[in-house]
């Protein structure tokens, strides 16, 4: 079964508010029924997000991952804790810079943009198709490479 990690800010919740994003809510409901869905946020604690979800009757995710800081470094640190999921897992992301860092680290990503995120990516910020195809090929190579389990 597919594991998916959904970033709360910008996908499920309007950043900086308690408002939810309808598209993200629908995506959450679909994924919760069909895969192992996990939520990731840097802004709220597990108790804060649990209360917010409970108020909206949003249920079905498996767990919550807390990123220690916003941005790519925080996201990757949180995802590193579940590194065994990397092959076959999907990260649903709202930040193009974070998506690029996650993809470079070997994660499959889906970038969700909405009008709540502020300015849309410019043509310069969108990666060329050849770069994306190269990343897909790199991820395929990672899947075929035997991995050892790290212990800390």
User: What pLDDT, on the 0 to 100 scale, is given for residue 2?
Assistant: 83
Most confident option among 55-59, 75-79, 120-124: 75-79
Give phi and psi for 38, each to the nearest 5. Answer: -125, 145
pLDDT in tens, 83-104: 766 666 899 999 999 999 999 9
Radius of gyration of the chain (CA): 15
pLDDT tens digits, one per residue of 25-45: 999 999 999 888 999 999 988
Largest Cα–Cα distance of the chain, in whole Å? 44
The pLDDT score that the predictor gives to residue 152 is 47
pLDDT in tens, 58-79: 888 888 899 989 899 999 999 9
pLDDT at 27: 93
Q: Could you give the percent of the chain with pLDDT greater than 90?
A: 36
Sign, CA dihedral 90-149-71-8, equals positive
Domains and CATH numbers, the chain: 3-144 (3.40.50.1000)
């Amino acid at each position: 079964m597919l594991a998916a990690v959904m970033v709360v800010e910008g996908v499920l919740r309007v950043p900086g508010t308690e408002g939810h994003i309808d598209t993200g809510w629908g995506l959450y409901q679909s994924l919760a029924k069909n895969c192992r869905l996990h939520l990731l946020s840097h802004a709220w604690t597990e108790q804060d997000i649990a209360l917010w979800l409970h108020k909206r009757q949003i249920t079905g995710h498996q767990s919550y991952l807390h990123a220690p800081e916003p941005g790519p470094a925080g996201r990757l640190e949180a995802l590193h804790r579940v590194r065994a999921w990397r092959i076959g897992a999907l990260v649903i992301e709202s930040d193009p810079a974070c998506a690029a860092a996650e993809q470079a680290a070997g994660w499959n990503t889906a970038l969700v943009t909405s009008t709540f995120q502020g300015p849309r990516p410019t043509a310069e910020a969108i990666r060329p198709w050849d770069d994306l195809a190269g990343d897909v090929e790199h991820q395929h190579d990672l899947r075929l490479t035997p991995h050892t389990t790290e212990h800390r």
